[in-house]
Amino acid sequence: MKQPSESNAYFGPAEQVVEHSDIGSFMPVGYYRPIPIVWFAGGWFVQVGALLVLFFLLLGKPILYPLLTTALVSYGIGHWTFGRGMSGASTGWKVFTVAALGFNWLLVALTEWALLVG
């Protein structure tokens, strides 16, 4: 980075530039960089909402319909979440995402099973 002689502004790559003036230093204008918690939370909240709606819509149907439908929707949400960027996250985030989506589906499946069979 080089500093011009007449001003206190620094030149360099946009993501590394920190401007300086008489009143202090300022961080560069940031850009949106999604992080794994955003992808995880997005997928999890979408799944919770979708499974809640499907649970009530398919409540009186034979047990196989709600189980398979909620499983397919959960798979689709997982695929969507990994397509958004989770596939580039660390292994821990991937495992946690699959486990959380699977746990949500399992809770709904067991509740449906208990209500329809028992």
pTM for the structure as a whole: 0.70
Residues 63, 112 within the same domain: yes
Residues 112, 56 within the same domain: yes
Residues 22, 46 within the same domain: no
Residues 57, 107 within the same domain: yes
Residues 27, 48 within the same domain: no
Domain count, the chain: 2
Radius of gyration of the chain (CA): 24
The pLDDT, as a whole number, for residue 1 is: 47
Residues 4, 26 within the same domain: yes
Residues 23, 41 within the same domain: no
**Cα–Cα distance measured from residue 117 to residue 115, given in angstroms and rounded to the nearest whole number:** 6
The pLDDT, as a whole number, for residue 25 is: 53
Q: Are 115 and 107 in contact (CB under 8 A)?
A: no
Residues 10, 40 within the same domain: no
Q: What is the DSSP letter of 86?
A: G
pLDDT in tens, the chain (118 residues): 444 545 555 455 555 555 555 555 555 545 556 689 989 999 999 999 999 999 999 988 998 999 999 999 999 999 999 998 899 898 999 999 999 999 999 999 999 989 888 7
Residues 71, 16 within the same domain: no
Residues 22, 57 within the same domain: no
| CA angle (30 as vertex; 40, 86 as ends), nearest 5 | 20
Strand partners, 24: 21
Residue that has been written with the tokens 């589906």 in this structure? 105
Q: Which domain holds residue 73?
A: 36-117
